[in-house]
Chains A and B, each alone.
Chain A
Amino acid sequence: MSKVKVLVVDDEIEFATTLAERLNIRGFEATACFCTEDALALIHAKNIPDVVLLDLKMPHMDGMEALEEIKKYNPTIEVIMLTGHGGGIPLIGAARQKHSPFDCLMKPADINELTTKINQAMVKRQTAINKGEGE
């Protein structure tokens, strides 16, 4: 069975790389990106991740906008939001809020909780693929 591909997107380089490394140790195939634009470019280049760990607040394009773009491109990619503030997931307007993330975790998240969520997200994605959605 192939490894679960995880894309970690966070403008905190140290955080993103370390988290990717930890996930790799735990048997995931994790890659770190430091801005949403790079992440989207990667996805458009057919490097489709199974699960994206997306920081909510980033320069230029924030996490919610990136979520919309990712879901638009491939709705089976599951996104887990990581947030450093207490505001939860802000609404960005009903018209634009078409998709929701798989879950939202507060930083600093526990690695075991995170891996559990990634696996659950993977199950959901697998189910969707099996049903023939997206791809």
Chain B
Amino acid sequence: MIKKPGWIKRIFSDVEDYHEKMTSPERYRRFRRTLSLVMIAAFLIPLILTTMLSYYEYRSQMLANFRWNAESAKRTIETFLTELQTVLIYTANEHTYEELVDQDNLKKLYRRLKSHYPGVVDLGIIDHQGIQKAYAGPYELAGKNYSDRECFKAVTVSKTFIGMVEMGYRKVPHFVISVNFFNTNTGQNWVFRASIDATTLDKYIDNIGTGPLSDIFLVSRKGEPLLQSSSQQYGPPLSPYPFELPHNRTGITISEERGVWDYVVLKAVSYIEGTPWALVLLKHGYLYGKDWSFFKARLFFIVMISTLLALFVILQITKLFVGRIREADEKRESMMAEIEHTSKLASIGRLAAGIAHEINNPLAIISAKTGLIMDLLEISEDFKYKKKIGSEIHGTSNAVERCKVITHRLLGFARRMDVTLESIGINNLMQEVLSFLDQEALYRGIHVDLELGDSLPVIESDRGQLQQIFLNLVNNAIDAIGKDGKVTIKTKMRGQSSIQIDVTDNGKGIPQNIISHIFEPFFTTKDSVEKRGTGLGLFITYGIIKKLGGHISVQSSVGVGTTFTVTLPIKINLSRRAHDVESESPGG
């Protein structure tokens, strides 16, 4: 036998101790509940785990996608700025400082650049002292001193410089790209400076295409964060950006924040190298977007359908399973009860027959002695108490006769009867039996109803003994009614190999507390003196039916009536019957 782990034993403890509470419906309800819960858990846990895995997989895929968008946007901005710086460096290298400080030359250059890069607002050449030596553009900025401006100071330290978007002298948002050059003729540095319209950044950023429900913009990374390009959410350039930028200045930092209406907004921030800017990409509705909603709806649908289906199947299966177990338990219990009953009756039969045999010998002596006394009285002359003694002895002889009837019947039950088999039509037999009792029934006003099955096969059995069985049963039915009532005799097939005969009366019925004793010997309900039976009728009937390979059962309810159901095999199994007879007959 497989040893079950402790936890299984605990869960199914109900099943283990079924012998204790065999018939309790509560036990089956609890077993069914436990089994259902275990099966549901066994199904739902993997489903929930799979769902959670799908959820996190989808989420991490979305984040990866978002990071890729941010990286791609960053690379686009960097490419644009590198291109602008390269153009400035290339242009400056094409000309000498002296050529560029020539106002006409610079204007020509300006017009040429403007035609390719419309975002270029103006160009300027600043000498080593910070004075703008030449200027080409829409403003009057020639001769302006830039010595204290960041665009000049920073570019003297590094080769190139990109400034924050500011209003400056021009009063329009722009940013500056400055490149530092060395004049080999004078041995001094000079700066080539271009102002770029901030809307140029917007145009570039608009072209990046990060998908719907996104907002992408640049924010200054020095001091208070200000917008460096337009944002759908926070407004035009130089508007304040209400959040702090992350301290991590390398790579892309992704975080979540609460946006408008408390929606979760996914945010990616990356610092653009060589600029005072940080690129911010916002993804609105990342938890509420169409894809996400569709994904969630699909997941929810699958989980719900699977769960409902599983619940239905599990509940049906457990119901069926527990029902089958209950059925088997009940069947086994009723079989056990029947076996117990049969073996009890067989034991009683053996005991009774044994006692009858032992009593028979002393009874024979008493009978012989009383007989002798009567013989002697008869041949003797008259004396004082002759009559009195004669009558007393006659009483003794009668009592012995009654004992003899009982012992002979008991021995008859146990006797190894020779069964004479012949083919019998059960319907004919029932009619024969009734012909014996017609007068009795008529006299008592009892109507006997015959419901005989059509085309029943002839059975192989003992006619005399069958007559004894049904005479006894019908007689009992008539006695149970007393006067005015109805006895119904019904014959029909039972399965393929048996015939069933029901003898039903509408008499007083048998109370439940005594119904289990009615096949026991000396048990009688006929209480009136004239009708008192020996209590052996049903006991002997039971014995004969068993010998003929049949079965008898009784159903009764008080005040409604009683039905005795006899089943007889169509063909007697001789070897089995012999075995049964052997086991039920007493020894001696």
Contacts and interface: CB of A to CB of B under 8 A. Distances in A.
A123 interface: no
Interface stretch (B114-122, B154-162, B354-362, B559-567): B354-362
A129 B196 CA distance: 161
A86 to B, nearest CB: 3
Contact of B361 (A26, A84, A86, A88): A84
Contact of B364 (A15, A21, A22): A15
A88 B586 CA distance: 12
A108 interface: yes
Interface residues of B, number: 30
Contact of B412 (A22, A57, A86, A111): A86
B360 A84 contact: yes
A26 B150 CA distance: 163
Contacts of B357: 84-86
Contacts of A37: none
A57 B585 CA distance: 18
A111 B368 CA distance: 8
A113 to B, nearest CB: 12
A97 interface: no
Contacts of A87: 415-416, 585, 588
Among B368, B369, B372, B416, chain A packs the most CB atoms within 10 A around the CB of B368
B415 A88 contact: yes
Interface in A85-135: 85-88, 106-109, 111
Contacts of B586: 86
Given A85-B411, A86-B411, A107 B364 contact: yes
Given A84-B357, A86-B414, A107-B360, A22 B365 contact: no
A93 to B, nearest CB: 16
Tell me the interface secondary structure of chain A in the complex.
loop
B456 interface: no
B548 to A, nearest CB: 18
Interface in B340-362: 353, 356-357, 360-361
Nearest to A21: B372
Given A18-B369, A18-B372, A22-B372, A84 B379 contact: no
Contact of B365 (A12, A25, A86): A12
Given A15-B365, A18-B369, A25-B375, A108 B416 contact: no
Contacts of B360: 84-85, 106-108
B404 interface: yes
A46 B396 CA distance: 40
Contact of B368 (A15, A57, A85, A86): A15
B363 interface: yes
A22 to B, nearest CB: 5
A22 B375 contact: yes
Interface in B74-109: none
Interface centre among A15, A26, A88, A108 (most CB of B within 10 A): A108
B113 interface: no
A14 interface: yes
A4 interface: no
A50 B473 CA distance: 46
5 contacts: A15-B365, A18-B372, A22-B371, A85-B357, A108-B360
Interface of B: 353, 356-357, 360-361, 363-369, 371-372, 375-376, 379, 400, 404, 408, 410-416, 585-586, 588
Closest 9 CB pairs of A and B: A86-B411, A108-B367, A108-B364, A107-B364, A18-B368, A86-B415, A84-B360, A85-B357, A25-B375
Interface of A: 12, 14-15, 18-19, 21-22, 25-26, 57, 84-88, 106-109, 111
Given A12-B365, A86-B356, 6 more contacts: A12-B364, A14-B369, A21-B372, A84-B364, A107-B360, A108-B360
